[in-house]
Chains A and B, each alone.
Chain A
Amino acid sequence: MRYSGFQVLKQALSGHKGWGRAWRDPEPQSQYDIVIVGGGGHGLATAYYLARSFAKARVAVIEKGWIGGGNVGRNTTIIRSNYLLDGNEPFYEYSMKLWEGLEQDFNFNAMVSQRGVLNLCHTDAQRDAFRRRANGMRLNGVDAELLDAEGVRKMAPFLNFDSARFPIKGGLLQPRGGTVRHDAVAWGYARGADSRGVDIIQNCEVVGFRIENGICLGVETTRGYIAAAKVGVAVAGSSGAVMAKAGMRLPIESHVLQAFVSEGLKPIIPGVITYGAGHFYVSQSDKGGLVFGGDIDGYNSYAQRGNLPVVEDVCEGGMSLMPMIGRAKLLRMWGGIMDMSMDGSPIIDKTDIGGLYFNGGWCYGGFKATPASGMCFAHLLATDTPHPTATAYRFDRFRKGLMIDEKGMGAQPNLH
């Protein structure tokens, strides 16, 4: 059933009896053309675009738990395309463009809200770097504005301009940046993929890959063997553990990133604001909660929970940047597991095993990439060639010295 305002009215008047399942609950078939491992945002988006743009009908998404239970449902919902480097910017801008038409495309209101992303700078060197980045964005046809301190003050008068340890010198604003209701992205893609024939199979864990003569034939799961001409793995956070089942070591470590939400508050923060002198970024959800986060905890973890030092560090950043939030109360903290890659950039590539494809290494920037990641992975799976915006996201870039290192931190994942 197509969702619309009319349907909502009609169903309201008839006791909501007509709403069907958002997606089916099929039994796994014995074989598919393409099996996507991982029912998170990226996996579901991949399946959706495979079905929608590449007309691949026999596609399954298999998910260990419930769809959307990983990072697509744990992030701080920010979307932006304000990247510095050539390998990244066109990809993230492509993602932004897909966000801009996504809801009408998959007929699900994901509340894409382009209220702006404002990154603050606190030193002259940071401002120079922002100028380089903003100009790079402009040269790629992307919106970017450079604000001075007064410009920032006009946008966000509640920031600490008077007693800051690191005074605000200006900011980089991407007006088209913003937030998206994260769970709805997973559900919208799931519903869209399902309606185009994709089997979404929950509670089905991959326990192994059947590989013969260097060719992947299918996956062993807790619900039996499933054969597939191609297997695409999109399980960021667990990439290391899953690909180890195929005998692969990755340029990736798993780290925990915590996120936080306050109690619901009347609107007070307009868009997304990121602190340039501490680890803190914040936006306010449509429900009113301040959604905020900071740095990863910094040690390898698969535990989906963090510790107090980072909680305190994030709140210290928040208080020093916007002292008006002191009496807002932190309601809930949680953790997600990040695929922290060796240069801070993702991988969308074939593996050395025939028929086995990989999508991961999203660090803590995967949510904003969801549409483009899905489209590019679908492109790769369907055509065996990389999508034009994702040509740099190769495995061999580390071997060749072609790292895409936005932050310049080098081969230490917890610094990206």
Chain B
Amino acid sequence: MIINHPLLGPRDSQEFTYLGDASLIERPDWQAADAVDQFYDYLYLRDNPAGLHRELWYHEQGDRSWLVVTRNTLTHDITSVELARDVAKAKGRST
């Protein structure tokens, strides 16, 4: 596969390391009353769609960017690649 890195252009996916669903960005609040339940849901449960999937790839043999790749799990077609940092910020994550 080829991942079109937003900063570096197209790169073979072999340069990257895969983590999983991009929802892993949305780490729950540890002080929530039901924090354990939220963390359980966050860490263990997956939509695992047969179709479009937003997922985290790490450019391990490159610039060490974490990326959010939108890829179709049925065809492997990639429709967008974003810097995970930008995605995280857009979701309101900060410090």
A–B: direct contact at CB < 8 Å = yes
Chain A positions near chain B (C-beta within 8 angstroms): 238-241, 244, 249-254, 298-303, 307, 309, 342, 398-399, 411-414
Closest to B40 in A: A399
**A254 lies within 8 A of B48 (CB):** yes
Chain B positions near chain A (C-beta within 8 angstroms): 1, 12-14, 18-21, 37, 40, 43-50, 53, 55, 71, 73-76
Chain B nearest CB from A131 CB (Å) reads 32
25 interchain pairs, CB-CB under 8 A: A238-B50, A239-B48, A240-B46, A240-B47, A240-B48, A241-B48, A244-B47, A249-B46, A249-B48, A250-B45, A252-B48, A253-B46, A253-B48, A254-B50, A299-B1, A300-B71, A302-B74, A307-B1, A309-B12, A309-B13, A309-B14, A398-B43, A398-B44, A411-B43, A412-B19
A301-B14 Cα distance, complex, nearest whole Å: 16
Chain B nearest CB from A208 CB (Å) reads 15
**A253 lies within 8 A of B20 (CB):** yes
Which one of A249, A299, A303 has the greatest number of beta carbons of chain B within 10 Å? A299
A399-B18 Cα distance, complex, nearest whole Å: 25
A249-B47 Cα distance, complex, nearest whole Å: 6
Residues of A within 8 A of B44 (CB): 251, 342, 398-399, 411
- Total number of residue pairs linking A and B with CB closer than 8 Å: 74
Which DSSP category, helix, strand, loop or mixed, fits chain B's interface?
Answer: mixed
Closest to A299 in B: B18
**B45 lies within 8 A of A240 (CB):** no
A347-B74 Cα distance, complex, nearest whole Å: 24
Chain A nearest CB from B4 CB (Å) reads 16
**A249 lies within 8 A of B50 (CB):** no
**B53 lies within 8 A of A300 (CB):** yes
**A249 lies within 8 A of B73 (CB):** no
Chain A nearest CB from B38 CB (Å) reads 12
A21-B20 Cα distance, complex, nearest whole Å: 45
Which one of B14, B19, B40, B74 contacts A398 once the chains associate, using CB atoms below 8 Å?
B40
A302-B48 Cα distance, complex, nearest whole Å: 10
Residues of A within 8 A of B40 (CB): 398-399
**B20 lies within 8 A of A300 (CB):** yes
Which one of A244, A250, A254, A309 contacts B73 once the chains associate, using CB atoms below 8 Å?
A254
Which one of B13, B21, B50, B76 contacts A241 once the chains associate, using CB atoms below 8 Å?
B50
Given A300-B55, A411-B43, A240 and B49 touching (CB < 8 A)?
A: yes
Given A241-B50, A254-B50, A298-B18, A249 and B74 touching (CB < 8 A)?
A: no
Residues of B within 8 A of A399 (CB): 37, 40, 44
Closest to B74 in A: A302
Other than A300-B48, A309-B13, give 17 A-B pairs with Cβ distance below 8 A.
A239-B48, A249-B46, A249-B47, A249-B48, A250-B46, A251-B46, A252-B48, A253-B21, A253-B48, A299-B71, A302-B50, A342-B43, A398-B43, A399-B44, A412-B19, A412-B20, A414-B18
Which one of B43, B55, B75 has the greatest number of beta carbons of chain A within 10 Å? B43
Closest to B48 in A: A240
Residues of A within 8 A of B48 (CB): 239-241, 244, 249-250, 252-254, 300
Q: Which 4 A-B pairs have the closest CB atoms?
A: A240-B48, A249-B45, A241-B50, A251-B44
A414-B21 Cα distance, complex, nearest whole Å: 12
Closest to B1 in A: A307
Residues of B within 8 A of A309 (CB): 12-14
Residues of A within 8 A of B14 (CB): 309
**A303 lies within 8 A of B47 (CB):** no
Which one of A241, A298, A300, A412 has the greatest number of beta carbons of chain B within 10 Å? A300
**A303 lies within 8 A of B74 (CB):** yes
A241-B52 Cα distance, complex, nearest whole Å: 12
Given A253-B20, A412-B19, A414-B18, A301 and B49 touching (CB < 8 A)?
A: no
Residues of A within 8 A of B43 (CB): 342, 398, 411
Chain B nearest CB from A336 CB (Å) reads 14
**B76 lies within 8 A of A301 (CB):** yes
Chain B nearest CB from A308 CB (Å) reads 8
Which one of B12, B21, B49, B73 has the greatest number of beta carbons of chain A within 10 Å? B73
Given A298-B18, A398-B40, A412-B19, A303 and B76 touching (CB < 8 A)?
A: yes
A307-B76 Cα distance, complex, nearest whole Å: 11
Chain B nearest CB from A123 CB (Å) reads 23
Residues of B within 8 A of A249 (CB): 45-48
**A302 lies within 8 A of B46 (CB):** no
